[in-house]
């Protein structure tokens, strides 16, 4: 459905440009947009490669294991029905650490694996469990210490100080993280009151 909407918007835009005689500006915008997209992608790749390299170093040095132990009580509190040594917790932890360092692209496959494991715990049911909803909330409202993607975009547009947004970003994310978990908790209570397990 979304694809059809985008195609319709594109066709309407081209028809409108032909009727108004602004087709030249549209063609220029298409080529300029393509050029900018490639520039941004190359800039983002370099930032992602750098942080993925640091992530690998953190993994090899044992820092990820230390972070796992640090977050273990928090994850046990959030996911009480998930057994302690279940692979789902490992994937959730890796996803959280990747998000913490601003590696959204690296976090996505880990998040998919975590969701698959949570579905297995839910007896492969088509209905989502409380744990799956909590993980989705956790993943969506994740706190990022270093927003590498945004910094990369600001660098590609020659920002005078690309890292000046870090403090405000962390503050906004803490508020959204706490708010997301509170709303998730309230809706979980509401589901349980209605008799859903």
Q: Tell me what percent of the residues of the chain surpass a pLDDT of 90.
A: 6
The pair of structure tokens assigned to 168 is 């405000």
Query: 65 versus 155: which is more confidently predicted?
Result: 155
Looking at residue 126, what DSSP letter applies? Answer: S
Q: What is the pLDDT of residues 131-161, one digit of tens each?
A: 999 998 988 888 887 777 777 778 877 888 8
Kindly indicate the confidence band of residue 78, based on its pLDDT and cuts at 50, 70 and 90: confident
pLDDT of residue 178: 92
Distance, in Å, from the CA atom of 36 to the CA atom of 30, rounded to the nearest integer, reads 10
Q: In 3D, which of 137, 121, 125, 124 has the Cα closest to residue 187?
A: 137
Distance, in Å, from the CA atom of 131 to the CA atom of 81, rounded to the nearest integer, reads 8
pLDDT of residue 175: 93
**129 touches 151 (CB < 8 A):** no
pLDDT tops 60 at residue 197: no
pTM: 0.64
pLDDT of residue 51: 66
**51 touches 103 (CB < 8 A):** yes
Looking at residue 128, what DSSP letter applies? Answer: P
Kindly indicate the confidence band of residue 183, based on its pLDDT and cuts at 50, 70 and 90: very high
Q: What is the pLDDT of residues 21-57, one digit of tens each?
A: 888 887 888 788 778 778 777 766 776 677 667 767 8
Distance, in Å, from the CA atom of 139 to the CA atom of 65, rounded to the nearest integer, reads 20
């Amino acid at each position: 459905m979304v694809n059809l909407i985008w195609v319709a918007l594109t066709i309407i835009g081209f028809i409108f440009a032909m009727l108004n005689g602004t087709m030249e500006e549209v063609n220029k915008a298409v080529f300029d947009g393509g050029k900018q997209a490639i520039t941004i992608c190359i800039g983002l790749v370099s930032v992602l490669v750098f942080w993925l390299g640091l992530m690998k170093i953190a993994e090899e040095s044992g820092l990820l294991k230390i972070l796992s132990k640090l977050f273990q009580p928090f994850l046990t509190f959030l996911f009480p029905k998930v057994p302690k040594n279940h692979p789902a917790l490992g994937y959730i932890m890796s996803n959280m650490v990747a998000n913490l360092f601003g590696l959204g692209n690296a976090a996505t496959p880990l998040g998919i694996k975590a969701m698959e494991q949570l579905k297995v715990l839910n007896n492969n049911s088509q209905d989502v469990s409380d744990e799956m909803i909590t993980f989705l909330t956790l993943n969506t409202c994740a706190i990022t210490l270093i927003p590498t993607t945004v910094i990369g975009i600001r660098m590609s547009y020659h920002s005078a100080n690309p890292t000046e947004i870090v403090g405000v970003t962390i503050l906004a994310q803490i508020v959204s993280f706490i708010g997301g978990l509170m709303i998730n908790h309230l809706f979980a209570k509401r589901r349980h009151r209605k008799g859903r397990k």
